[in-house]
Structure 1
Amino acid sequence: MAEPAAAAAGLGRAEPGGAGADPLLPQGENGVDGRAIRVGTRRSQLARIQTDSVVMMLRELYPDLCFEIVAMSTTGDKILDTALSKIGEKSLFTKELETALERNEVDLVVHSLKDLPTCLPPGFTIGAVCKRENPLDAVVFHPKNCGKTLSLLPEKSVIGTSSLRRAAQLKKKFPHLEFRDIRGNLNTRLKKLDEKEDFSAIILAAAGLKRMGWENRIGQEGGCSIPVAVNTLLKDGQLYLTGAVYSLDGSDSLKETMQTSVSYPHQNEDGPNDDVQHVGITAKNVPGQAQEAAENLGVELASLLLSKGAKHILSVARQLNDTR
């Protein structure tokens, strides 16, 4: 199952500019009060690569504006000796950036969608989503296991991952393997894999490896803090949404797919729903009816999974995770 999203998203304040304003860009020709537009980002190399690409696109669209990148460390970057699912705090990789945005220390921030909290802070909106990168998971093997697959690894081989969702899915398919938490940025995790004997392989996002130029390390393709997964497909005006939940050991799971039409014409005149935000997203170029249909599809799929026992599976998973 793919990551919830492997795309970059621009987060901004929803209120400036009034109806019809671009939530990501300041009004006027020379930025905010004549100064550069400040773009917030995490300090990690991968985050900088992602943010640099977004700023490059913005510069092409708005060549008369100046952009300044403001990098900072987040809670998730600083706490590296504890599993993400045990830290017990939301917005691990976004909180400091959100605070800076709220204090007007930056004008917009760039995140991976998978790092955003389920509910955005009041007054914030996702103003742009870049084209999605490869959403799949990737297996990176220890050099001694080069050429192997997960199914060919010896019994009790240890696989590293910081995601409960990834571990739960893989336990279901590869019960002979053991899974252990591994923290750090991509550089750190690859160093732990290559220079030690603790892990036979680690699971990473294919998107991150591609952005770093490390696609050659991919040996096999496949909110990280709970064992849930979602994938979408848009084809011929139909939106297909697949959702799944897993027990921590992978023995129990639910997976369902639903679809809905999102083929609606653009309205030429302003209507009463033009400024309605769906799940914290401002999408001026997507008809309101299509946004509403997509949001309703997500709610209906969640309700279907809950009716089939998803809540019990997740409750047990949380209890087991808390006792680890």
Structure 2
Amino acid sequence: MKQEIIIGTRDSQLAMWQARWVLEKLQKLNPGKRFILRGMKTRGDHILDVALAKIGDKGLFTKELEAALSAREIDMAVHSMKDLPTRLPEGLIIGAFCQREYPGDVLISRHGLTLDALPPGARIGTSSLRRTAQILHFRPDFNVITIRGNLNTRLRKLEELNLDAIILAYAGIHRLGCDERITQLIPFDVCLPAAGQGAIAVEIRANDPEIDDLIRPLDDHDSRAAITAERALMRKLEGGCQVPIGALGRVQHNQLLLEGSVASLDGSHLIRDRISGPPDQAEQLGEELATRLIGMGAGEILEKARREFDLK
């Protein structure tokens, strides 16, 4: 039995917070073991002057960690769930879907104005095509500005770039203790989150029963079902950073409710549908909803979005 367990993570402030949260939970459950954090930079951390969708999303923030995991240099990797591609490298699995934080997006406005109240042509900062497409569907007059960087960098750019507001995930803001900066929780009927947003994933080797047993108490059944459905929908639609897809699964009264949306880059076309069923059929529900969206025209919208973004 290993007495020293190495936890791999990106070395950003938020990623380290998440990895420490996992470490503290595991340390409390296993006082006889020693847990060590190992931070590292990923490709996405090095390329900060290009939009995410331009550099591809296949393991942009995870590949280096997964290589270390496969090479047995670390024993587990802690990720933001939304960063994990829907297809993992051979031999790796998500060992724990940690209990999800509120999954939605928030508006941080310089003058305390909500999305409805922002002036015509307001400058909104975001790095996400998903957010861009959905808020332009809500307010076509917005001027969306691409911003990259960690959470603190993006908060700083709100002032530096003279933006009216920026959009971020609630979970990151909350985990770093910046709740007072939040102007508005953006309603889900305006903007569905990214698949897995708000959850922490613990990735492990598939053939490592000792580590699997160690992290099993961190796995949250409802979060696993909801996010499995969201990721199945994304996989079926072949979605990622390059395409504007929203997904939200929730388990309520022993039923899994899943909503999905696909939008054009300019927000002029948006399709949305929902499905429900038993949580143990999460994968099938995600695939079925994706098929429905494809039948409503999602395939054409996504193909056009990919072409348009490639030309920009």
TM over 0.5: yes
Corresponding residue of 1:319: 307
The yes-or-no answer on 1:258 pairing with 2:275 is yes
* Pairing partner for 2:131 from 166, 172, 178: 166
The yes-or-no answer on 1:92 pairing with 2:56 is no
Amino acid at match of 2:94: I
Alpha-carbon separation, structure 1, partners of 2:242 and 2:75: 28
Map Cα deviations across residues 225-281 of structure 1 (whole Å, 9 max, x no partner): 42001111112221111111111111111111111123xxxxxxxxxxxxxxxxxxx
The yes-or-no answer on 1:307 pairing with 2:295 is yes
Corresponding residue of 1:232: 249
* Distance change in 2, residues 1:230/1:149 (3 Å): same
Maintained 8 Å contact 1:166/1:224:
no
The yes-or-no answer on 1:153 pairing with 2:118 is yes
Corresponding residue of 1:70: 38
Alpha-carbon separation, structure 2, partners of 1:307 and 1:81: 37
Maintained 8 Å contact 1:162/1:224:
no
Corresponding residue of 2:88: 120
Alpha-carbon separation, structure 1, partners of 2:253 and 2:113: 38
* 37-46 or 222-231, larger mean C-alpha shift: 222-231
The yes-or-no answer on 1:204 pairing with 2:168 is yes
* Pairing partner for 1:178 from 140, 143, 153: 143
Alpha-carbon separation, structure 2, partners of 1:209 and 1:88: 25
The yes-or-no answer on 1:248 pairing with 2:271 is no
Alpha-carbon separation, structure 2, partners of 1:317 and 1:309: 13
The yes-or-no answer on 1:46 pairing with 2:10 is no
Maintained 8 Å contact 2:106/2:170:
yes
Q: How many residues are paired up?
A: 259
RMSD over aligned CA atoms reads: 1.2
* Distance change in 2, residues 1:88/1:235 (3 Å): closer
Maintained 8 Å contact 2:57/2:242:
no
Corresponding residue of 1:133: 101
Larger proportion of helix: 2
Amino acid at match of 1:152: A
Alpha-carbon separation, structure 2, partners of 1:58 and 1:79: 33
SS in 2 for 1:81: coil
Corresponding residue of 1:20: none
CA drift at 1:224: 4.3
Corresponding residue of 2:193: none
* 197-206 or 44-53, larger mean C-alpha shift: 197-206
The equivalences for 1:91-110 within 5 A come to 91-110=59-78
Maintained 8 Å contact 1:59/1:65:
yes
TM-score (norm 2): 0.81
* 81-90 or 211-220, larger mean C-alpha shift: 81-90
* Pairing partner for 1:217 from 171, 181, 188: 181
**Structure 2 unmatched ranges of 5 or more:** 187-239
SS in 2 for 1:160: strand
Maintained 8 Å contact 2:27/2:33:
yes
SS in 1 for 2:262: strand
Alpha-carbon separation, structure 2, partners of 1:189 and 1:254: 30
CA drift at 1:89: 4.8
CA drift at 1:155: 2.2
* Pairing partner for 2:153 from 188, 194, 218: 188
**Structure 1 unmatched ranges of 5 or more:** 1-27, 263-289
Amino acid at match of 1:294: A
Amino acid at match of 1:249: D
Percent identity, please: 48
CA drift at 1:59: 0.8
Maintained 8 Å contact 2:56/2:242:
no
Alpha-carbon separation, structure 2, partners of 1:211 and 1:197: 25
